[in-house]
Structure 1
Amino acid sequence: MNFFKRLYKMGQAEANATLDSMEDPIKITEQGIRDLKEELKESVASLAQVKALEIRSKTEHKEFLTNIENYQEKALLLLNKAKNGNLDLDEAERLAKAALIKKEENVKAAEKAKEEAVKYESSVIEMEANVTEIKRNISRWENELKTLKARVKVSNATKKMNRQMAGVDASSTVDMLERMKQKVSQEEALAEAYGNIANNKTTIDFEIDKAIDFTKDTAENELIKLKQQLGFPNELKS
Structure 2
Amino acid sequence: MSFFKRIFGWMSAETNAALDSLEDPIKMTDQGIRDLKKDLDESLQGLAQVKAISIRTRKEYEQHRQAAGDWERKAVLLLQKASSGQIDAADADRLATEALSKKEQAVQAAATHEKMVNQNDGQVAKMEQNVQRLKSQISQWENEAKTLKARAKVSEASSKINKQLASIDSTSTVSMLERMKNKVEEQEALAESYGEIADSNVSIDEEINKAIGPGAGSSSLALEELKEKMKLGAGKSDSTSASATNEGQSDLDKLKEQLKDK
Give the TM bin, normalised by the shorter chain. Answer: 0.7 to 0.9
In structure 1, the partner of 2:7 is 4
Q: Deviations over 1:54-98 (max 9, x none)?
A: 111221122122112111111111111111122222221111111
8 A contact 1:10–1:28 mirrored in 2: no
How big is each residue's C-alpha offset from its partner over 1:28-66, in whole Å with a ceiling of 9 and x where there is no partner?
112212211211121111111111111112211221221
Q: Secondary structure at the match of 2:86?
A: coil
**What is the match of residue 138 of structure 1?**
138
TM-score w.r.t. the length of structure 1 is 0.78
State which structure, 1 or 2, has the greater radius of gyration over its C-alpha atoms.
2
How many residues of Structure 1 are paired with residues of Structure 2 in the alignment?
Answer: 231
The TM-score normalised by the length of structure 2 is 0.72
Q: Once superposed, which parts of structure 1, at least 4 consecutive aligned residues long, lie more than 2 Å away?
A: 6-11, 16-23, 133-182, 197-210, 213-228, 231-237
Deviation at residue 205 of structure 1 after TM alignment: 3.9
Q: Give unmatched runs, 5+ long, in structure 1.
A: none
The residue that corresponds to 1:218 in the other structure is 224
Aligned to 1:124: 124
Matching of residue 43 in structure 1 with residue 43 in structure 2: yes
**Matches for 1:1-238 after TM superposition, within 5 Å:** 1-9=4-12, 13=15, 18=18, 20-165=20-165, 167-170=167-170, 175-202=175-202, 204-205=204-205, 207=207, 214=220, 217-218=223-224, 220-221=226-227, 223-224=229-230, 233=237, 236=242, 238=246
Q: What CA distance in whole angstroms lies between the structure 2 residues aligned with 1:69 and 1:21?
A: 72
Q: Residues of 2 paired with 1:29 and 1:17: CA distance? A: 15
RMSD value over aligned CA atoms?
3.4
Distance of 2:191 and 2:20 partners within structure 1: 59
Shift in Å, 1:219: 5.1
SS in 1 for 2:34: helix
The 10-residue stretch of structure 1 (47-56 or 124-133) with the greater mean CA deviation from structure 2? 124-133
Structure 2: state its 5+ residue gaps. Answer: 212-218, 247-262
Structure-2 separation of matches of 1:17 and 1:169: 33
Identity fraction in percent: 46
List per-residue Cα deviations over 1:126-154 (Å, max 9, x = no partner). 11122222222333333333334434434
Opposite residue 199 of structure 2, the aligned amino acid is N
Deviates more, 1:39-48 or 1:213-222: 213-222
Amino acid at match of 2:182: Q
Contact 2:13–2:19 under 8 Å retained in 1: no
- Are the structure 2 counterparts of residues 19 and 38 from structure 1 closer, same or farther at C-alpha, using a change threshold of 3 Å? closer
1:170-207: per-residue Cα shift (whole Å, max 9, x none)? Answer: 46666545433432321221121132134334574455
1:189-237 CA distances to partner (integer Å, 9 max, x unpaired)?
1121132134334574455668xx9478425335448859xx9547646
TM-superposed CA distance for 1:20, in Å, is: 3.8
What secondary structure does 2:54 align onto?
Answer: helix
In 2, Cα distance between the equivalents of 1:64 and 1:139?
44
Aligned-residue offset at 1:123: 1.2
Q: How far apart, CA to CA, are the structure 2 residues paired with 1:95 and 1:77? A: 10
Equivalents in 1 of 2:207, 2:238: separation in Å? 32
1:37 alignment partner, SS class: helix
